[in-house]
């Protein structure tokens, strides 16, 4: 299989016009607010570490861009929430079954368990088709890849799964993902502050975003305790905090400021201030996010050195 194309793609900054940048910023800000306003208890449930690792490994093995991986996560999250909501609100399945009776929820999960790997893969395949600079996974490649990992499936089943996802999402696949926010915010930052080498920041942002995505649960748990100043936040505090975990704008500026802290510590406060001005997010919120993330990076590095 080909290697990921991320390192081969040369993203050019400072070529977009002011008007275009303004439109981009307004658009992602609106999408972010709409997403935050529609959060539910299921938000983020399909961004668990092992699942994210699986999707990232798929993109690397298939030689598609990292952007497609983040896009696939967003598609999977949206599809699964809608799919499970529809299944649980539908009339219970009829018919007698051998053995002791099962809860309806258990029956649903049992049926979904065997299909889930294919659903995950189909989200990756659909995401590859939405990424213009990435190679598209055709059905021949898809079947060969799935067979190689021990999941035997026909092209017909693959097409049916794709169609199921498309219909459930009402064919709305062009959803922003965290890397999109990082790229647009870096473009605006480079336009406003030409002295900042956003190209160098962008390379490191890929690594920081990957780390935050994989350590999502731990980082946001620490951030919750930091912002509430409570070692054991209440259920109500955790429910309110879900909106923060789904704030892609905060994630975007947080990733950039972590990268800036590592590369340009002398300009860190300047970059935090500029990103606060661009997004309207307070300097304290940006600082809290970046400091918590840096703390987890240091802890992770120390653990690796000790093992």
| The predicted structure's pLDDT at residue 45 | 84
- Please check whether residue 3 lies inside any domain of the structure: no
Query: pTM to 2 decimals?
Result: 0.88
Same domain (yes/no): 134, 207: no
The verdict on 60 and 133 lying in the same domain is yes
Is residue 7 one of the residues assigned to a domain? no
Reference 197, options 9, 205, 292; nearest CA is 205
Note whether residue 29 is domain-resident.
Answer: no
Q: Residues 19, 191: contact at Cβ < 8 Å?
A: no
User: Among the three residues 168, 193, 208, which one is the final residue of a domain in this structure?
Assistant: 168
Please report whether residue 36 resides in a domain.
no
151: phi > 0 → left, psi -120 to 50 → alpha, else beta; which?
beta
Tokens of 102: 């099962």
**32 is a domain residue:** no
Q: Is 11 a member of any domain?
A: no
At residue 111, the pLDDT reads 80
220 and 127 part of one domain: no
Does one domain contain both 269 and 158?
Answer: no
Domain enclosing residue 64, as ranges: 42-168
Domain end call among 143, 168, 193: 168
pLDDT at 7: 43
Question: In terms of domains, do 152 and 186 share one?
Answer: no
- Judge if 139 and 233 occupy the same domain: no
Say whether both 163 and 265 belong to one domain: no
Query: Quick check: 115 and 87 in contact, CB under 8 A?
Result: no
| One domain for residues 183 and 302 | yes
In a domain, 247, yes or no: yes
Q: Give the torsion sign (CA, 163, 168, 171, 177).
A: negative
Considering the domain architecture, whether residues 144 and 226 belong to the same structural domain is answered as no
Assigned domain for 155 exists: yes
Residues 55 and 125 in one domain: yes
For residue 33, how far is the Cα from the chain centroid? Answer: 16
Q: 68 with 151, same domain?
A: yes
Please state the domain count of the chain.
2
Cα–Cα distance, 162 to 156 (Å, whole number)? 10
Helix axes 248-263, 283-306, angle to 10 degrees: 60
Based on the fold, state whether residues 132 and 216 are members of the same structural domain. no
CATH at 116 = 1.10.472.10
Average pLDDT, consecutive stretches of 10 residues, N- to C-terminus, the chain (307 residues): 45 81 93 88 85 94 90 94 82 54 72 88 92 76 91 92 94 90 95 90 95 96 94 92 94 97 94 96 97 94 63
Give the domain-ending residue among 168, 192, 222.
Answer: 168
């Amino acid at each position: 299989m080909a290697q990921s194309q991320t390192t081969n793609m040369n993203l050019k900054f400072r070529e977009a016009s002011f008007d275009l940048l303004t439109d981009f910023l307004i658009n992602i800000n609106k999408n972010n607010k709409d997403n935050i306003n529609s959060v539910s208890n299921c938000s983020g449930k399909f961004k668990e570490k092992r699942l994210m690792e699986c999707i990232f490994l798929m993109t690397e093995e298939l030689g598609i861009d990292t952007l497609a991986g983040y896009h696939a996560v967003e598609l999977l999250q949206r599809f699964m929430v809608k799919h499970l909501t529809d299944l649980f609100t539908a009339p219970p399945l009829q018919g007698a079954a051998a053995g002791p009776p099962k809860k309806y929820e258990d029956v649903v999960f049992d049926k979904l368990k065997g299909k889930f790997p294919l659903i995950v893969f189909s989200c990756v395949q659909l995401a590859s088709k939405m990424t213009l600079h990435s190679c598209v996974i055709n059905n021949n490649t898809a079947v060969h890849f799935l067979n190689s990992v021990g999941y035997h499936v026909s092209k017909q089943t693959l097409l049916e799964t794709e169609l199921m996802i498309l219909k459930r999402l009402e064919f709305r696949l062009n959803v922003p993902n965290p890397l999109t926010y990082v790229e647009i915010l870096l473009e605006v930052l480079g336009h406003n502050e030409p002295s900042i080498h956003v190209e160098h920041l962008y390379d490191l942002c890929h690594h920081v975003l990957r780390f935050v995505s994989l350590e999502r649960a731990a980082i946001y748990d620490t951030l919750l305790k930091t912002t509430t100043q409570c070692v054991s936040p209440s259920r109500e505090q955790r429910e309110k905090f879900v909106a923060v975990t789904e704030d892609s704008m905060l994630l975007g500026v947080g990733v950039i400021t972590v990268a800036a802290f590592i590369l340009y510590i002398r300009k860190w406060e300047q970059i935090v201030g500029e990103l606060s001005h661009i997004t309207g997010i307070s300097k304290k919120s940006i600082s809290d996010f970046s400091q918590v993330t840096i703390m987890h990076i240091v802890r992770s590095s120390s653990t690796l050195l000790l093992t």
